[in-house]
Structure 1
Amino acid sequence: MDDTIRIIGASSHPELTAKICDYVGVEPTRTEVVRFSNENLLVKIEENVRETDAFVIQTSNSPVSEGIIELLITIDALKHASAKRITAVIPYFPYARSDKKDQPRISITARLMADLLETAGADRILSMDFHSPQVQGFFRIPADQLKAAPLLCDYLMQNRDLSNHVLVAGDVGEAKEIGGYANRLGLPIAIVDKRREGNDDKARAVAIIGDVAGKHALIVDDEVASGGTLMEAAEFVMRQGALSVEAVAVHGVLSGQSVERISTSALKSLVITDTIPLPKEKRIDKIEVCSVARLFADAIKSIHIGSSVSSLFL
């Protein structure tokens, strides 16, 4: 790549930044982040970025709020250092689940995140698999949403014998997204029917639409957080006669006791991407990681030279 491109890796995921830079063929731009005793942050760009095409990589992981502030400060620093264009590369978008007003007197926080990024000085956004389609519409600046399905399908075809598998949506809401996997893999679909009973507002699996008996079930989801919903779906399909159950998800949030739940569950394996770093203490044999670094690198190169990003979805 030419010398007008700069890739700045914020603190959240240095491993992914390094991989992306290797694929793009550039060195990460040097920065300094200082955390003062009063918990304020200072971000200094240590190289000349005047009139350059700058890409800031920062995903959403713990500590989430500090990561957001660091990203906004970095964008603002680049803006005042006269970067020609600033793209916020956010593999896992913060507050993506807060995409609607489903309770009174709450914030649609995903929209707030979009506004904050634009106000800080971002000229465009590059992310992967928003929780829902409307999040992309919250931006008044260009926002490219990469899809992990092609990568994950290729990974599954290379590492699994899928001849007797069925794809399972954990609830009706996931049924539309699972269609992309079904088309690529040529597999049938089943949907777990969840209902709310009583006053505890907890959805429970009561039936399954489709057939999993005598087949290997593969549950597809956009993210795994606490793992409770995934574990319930896995146990339910096994009770419906599935031979085994595995899962694939784009974002491995894996909060709380999720890893412990996975390790002791009926789940044979969980395939996730590296949009969020997986610390050593969470790397168990059941969890497999498929990297998205090359896809993000290709998208960054396409944005830089002005070619189509949508062609990467094919």
Structure 2
Amino acid sequence: MRPFKYSNATDVATATQQLAANPNARFLAGGTNLLDLMKEDVERPDELIDITRLNLTQIKSLSGGGLSIGGLGKNTDAANHPLVRQNYPLLTQAILAGASGQIRNMATNGGNLLQRTRCPYFYETSMPCNKREPGSGCGAREGINRMHAIFGWSDSCVAVYPSDMSVALAALDAIVRVRNAGGQERTIPFEDFHRLPGSTPEKDTNLEHGELIVAIELPKNNFAEKSYYLKVRDRASYAFALVSVAAALEMDGTRIKQSRIALGGVAHKPWRALKAEKMLVGKEATEANFVAAAAAEMADARPLEHNAFKVELGRRSIVRALQMALDGGKS
């Protein structure tokens, strides 16, 4: 690990101003991803600004309905909060599907959104990686790419985004509230928060340097009774998704009034299955309709040499997640 300056921030204004003043500075919260990257010499900040003392941990109801989740609250606290469990069980399921209990006790909600890919070519500094070193090439493009993207990739990068929590947040139409060094706040719809790689894979999000995630806001919805998070992985725990699906349904009798479907493990960002969602609106909640919607969504997949299995796995996972959501996660 390389030498770095360390300081504690006592308020949001000081923290954002310190970060904005140094393009090579990083915020330090849970540190569950950043410190690993520093030890591997992938990330090389020369200054860490500790923000763990900032008062951004509250979970509270919003005036018009919905919920605000503090950016510096711990993943464990968010997953187990009564308002989250009651009104957004999909988020609870997704958080608990990720990492381990020890890591969830350290990891923050805002930090979860900002974690970087676990692509082995990104971590291996002897290999080319446009995300780590722009212009060097993508080792995974023609390498071992079993775990990599089937949607939205470019010749510059085929890595996938690892967060489970973010897949649920994408399906729940979350909003990310951020504050900059000048004290101004802005909100970013979750669909616009993460980026596809294009020609700039080194940019994971549309967050500006100097901005801090102060809260994640969830709008009020009617999905609590019929939602489910399905994670398919190589082993039962502490593994990243091959494919994951966050599925939620709002019913009008036997017909689907609204649906939300987001996929993980398939793209550089949480992938909203918009084609499948649109196909299901107004339809009967039958296996045949679930199968048709899943097939329509996966028709645009572009598998790489070693991950064509993800296409069929994605189809089956969407159908299974929808069936589980319809049954309230009980089957």
How would you bin the TM-score normalised by the shorter chain? under 0.3
Structure with greater proportional helix content:
1
Larger Rg belongs to: 1
TM-score (norm 2): 0.24
Q: Which has the higher contact order (CA 8 A, sep 6+)?
A: 2
TM-score (norm 1): 0.25
